Amino acid sequence: MKRHIACMVLGGALTVCAPALAAEYTRLDIAASPAGGAWYVGLGAYAKVLSDMYPELEVSLFPGGANANVLRVAKGASQIGATMLPNMKAAVDGLDPYKTPIKDIAALANIQDITRLHFVAPADSPVTSLREIAEKRIPVRLGTGVVGGNAELFARWVLAEYGITRENIREWGGSVYHLKTSEAQAMLAENQLDMHTWMGPGESFIYSELVKTKPVRILDVDDDILARVAEKYGLASGTIPAGFYGGVMGRDVKTVVSSAGLMVNRNIPDDMAYMLARALDRGAKDIAVALPSWGGMTSGNICKGLPIELHPGAARYYRESGCLE
């Protein structure tokens, strides 16, 4: 590919040069979340940064999801997409929900946000800990997210390490419901669930409303389980802060946490990956205005903590910027 260079003069003294897109690479498809979701907002702001920085670039957003985006980027339908860092690792390693290793993705950036997995049970639920569900074979009525969503997938990974699968729950006389937010809120309010899982940044609207009318427990993930899912899937250990939900727990609750990340198709040109990394780094503050939960991303950490290999073009930019040595 012929290489093009674009330069700009800063302060009349310092000249900064970066590759410009060749004519055949002026269309960019970004796999985000459904319209209105956090990733759609954040990547919409990123798309504006890209368009302002590279006016020749035509950028469009695709309303996807964490798992679907991996497959879409791998096959080249989108050149860049958002997912969770553990999804990147699971894809490359060929773990659930991916049937075989996926090798056509590479990392672009760590968004450095924090999303926390919640296991919440009404105080009158028979569930007082995750471990006892398997030990006592409790016929739990479990509400979780839609199949393929982060809450459903990460909860499935954690519960499997306890020896709890959807099949087990049904064998023990329980039920598993894959629910949208509004459905979960209604079922919790009507005492139709013994436990519910949710994952996201900050506090869940569902639980913030629930604790106003009934007491709840937020269940810890045990240390041995935290260690196992960290090694297998790259899920980090963290806490739900004691101050969440009006301080109903009175202590920090141990759980798994993760960050979102951006990946690219491994086969895009190095210059394109360089430009994508550069635009994200330079535009991080503007993107955080649109989506404050992405405000933890800085020039010093944008390339850190990634579970799969960086695209060579992105790595070149990060070496120049000082993020990589």
pLDDT in tens, 107-148: 999 999 999 999 999 999 999 999 999 999 999 999 998 887
**Exposed e or buried b for every residue in 109-131, given b needs 16+ CB within 10 A?**
bbbbbbbbbbbbbbeebebeebb
Domain identity same for 316 and 229: no
Same domain, residue pair 108 and 119 = no
Q: Are residues 34 and 166 in the same domain?
A: no
Do residue 141 and residue 267 come from a single domain? no
Q: Do residues 244 and 263 both lie within one domain? A: no
**For residues 68-96, average pLDDT:** 96
22 pLDDT exceeds 90? no
Are residues 129 and 207 part of one domain? yes
- Burial category of 140 from C-beta neighbours within 10 Å (exposed 0-12, middle 13-18, buried 19 and up): buried
Of 258, 282, 299, at which residue does a domain stop?
258
* pLDDT, tens only, 200-246: 888 888 898 888 888 899 999 999 999 999 999 999 999 999 999 98
Rg, C-alpha atoms of the chain:
21
Largest interatomic CA distance in the chain: 74
3-state secondary structure of 321: helix
What DSSP string runs through 74-112?
HTTSSSEEEEEHHHHHHHHHT-TT-SS---SEEEEEE--
What is the pTM (predicted TM-score) of this model?
0.87
Same domain, yes or no: 120 and 253: yes
Q: Within 175-309, where are the H helices?
A: 181-189, 205-210, 223-233, 270-282, 284-290
Side by side, the strands of the sheet bearing 260-265 are 58-62, 27-31, 80-84, 260-265, 105-110
Predicted confidence at residue 150, as pLDDT, reads 87
Residues 123 and 204 both lie in one domain: yes
CA dist., res. 278 & res. 272, Å (int): 10
Three-state DSSP class for residue 164: coil
If asked whether residues 131 and 242 sit together in one domain, one would say: yes
Using the predicted structure, report yes or no on whether residue 16 has a pLDDT greater than 50.
Answer: no
Which residues on neighbouring strands pair with residue 257, listed in sequence order?
116, 236
- Which among 210, 205, 41 is positioned nearest to 195, based on CA atoms? 210
Please indicate, yes or no, whether residues 99 and 201 belong to a single structural domain of this protein. Answer: no
Say how many domains are in the chain. Answer: 2
**CATH number for the domain that contains residue 312:** 3.40.190.10
Do 143 and 217 reside in the same domain of the chain?
yes
Q: Of 135, 70, 73, whose CA–CA distance to 96 is shortest?
A: 70
**Has residue 15 got a pLDDT over 50?**
no
Cα gap 66→50, rounded to integer Å: 22
- pLDDT given at position 1: 37
Q: Is the domain of 99 the same as that of 230?
A: no
- pLDDT for position 17: 44
Is residue 324 within 8 A of residue 107, CB to CB? The reply is no
Write down the mean pLDDT value for the chain.
90
Buried b / exposed e along 217-248 (16+ C-beta atoms within 10 A): bbbbbbeebbebbeebbbbbebebeeebbeeb
With 60 as the cut, is the pLDDT of residue 23 above it? no
User: How far are the Cα atoms of 238, 239, 264, 265 from residue 108, in angstroms, in the given order?
Assistant: 24, 27, 6, 10
Please report, rounded to a whole number, the percentage of residues in the chain having pLDDT higher than 90: 78
pLDDT (0 to 100) of residue 113: 93
Number of Cβ within 10 Å of residue 29's Cβ equals 17
Which residue, of 258, 283, 309, is where some domain finishes? 258
Domain boundaries, position 317: 4-113+259-321
Last residue of a domain, one of 210, 237, 258: 258
